[in-house]
Structure 1
Amino acid sequence: MSKQPAVGTPAPDFTLPGLVLGQGDAAAERADYALAGQRGNPLLLVFYPGDDTAVCTKQLCSYTSDLDRFTGLGATVWGISPQDLDSHEAFARKHRLGFPLLADTDRTVAKAYGIAVPGLGLRRSVFLLDGEGNVRWKHVALAGLTFVTTDVLAEQLAAVQAG
Structure 2
Amino acid sequence: MELKVGDKIPNFTAKDTNGNDFNSQDLIGKKPLVIYFYPKDNTPGCTTQACSFRDQYEDFKDFGAEVIGISSDSVASHQKFTQQFKLPFILLSDSDKKIRTLFGVPSNLFGLLSGRVTYVADNTGTVIMIFDSMKAKNHIPKALDAIRGLQ
- Would the aligned equivalents of 2:52 and 2:137 in 1 still touch at CA under 8 Å? no
| From 120, 123, 146, the counterpart of 1:131 | 123
**One-letter amino acid of the structure 2 residue matched with residue 97 of structure 1:** L
Query: What's the secondary structure of 1:131's corresponding residue?
Result: coil
Distance 1:13 1:139, change over 3 A: same
1:5 aligned residue:
3
Q: How does 1:1-163 map to 2 (within 5 A)?
A: 2=1, 4-19=2-17, 29-38=18-27, 39-117=29-107, 119-141=111-133, 144-159=134-149, 161-162=150-151
Report the TM-score when normalising by structure 2: 0.90
2:146 and 2:56 mapped to 1: Cα distance?
Answer: 15
1:105 and 1:43 mapped to 2: Cα distance?
Answer: 22
Report the TM-score when normalising by structure 1: 0.84
- 1:119 Cα deviation (Å)? 4.5
**One-letter amino acid of the structure 2 residue matched with residue 35 of structure 1:** S
Higher alpha-carbon deviation: 149-158 or 42-51: 149-158
Please provide the CA RMSD for this pair.
Answer: 1.6
Query: What's the secondary structure of 2:138's corresponding residue?
Result: coil
Structure 1 stretches of 4+ with a deviation exceeding 6 A read: none
- Note the alpha carbon deviations across 1:67-90, whole angstroms, 9 max, x for none: 010000110001000001000001
- Note the alpha carbon deviations across 1:25-78, whole angstroms, 9 max, x for none: xxxx44222111103110100111000000000110011011010000110001
Aligned residues: 148
Distance 1:111 1:121, change over 3 A: farther
Segments of 5+ residues of structure 1 without an aligned counterpart are 20-28
- 1:150 Cα deviation (Å)? 2.9
Q: Which has the larger radius of gyration?
A: 1
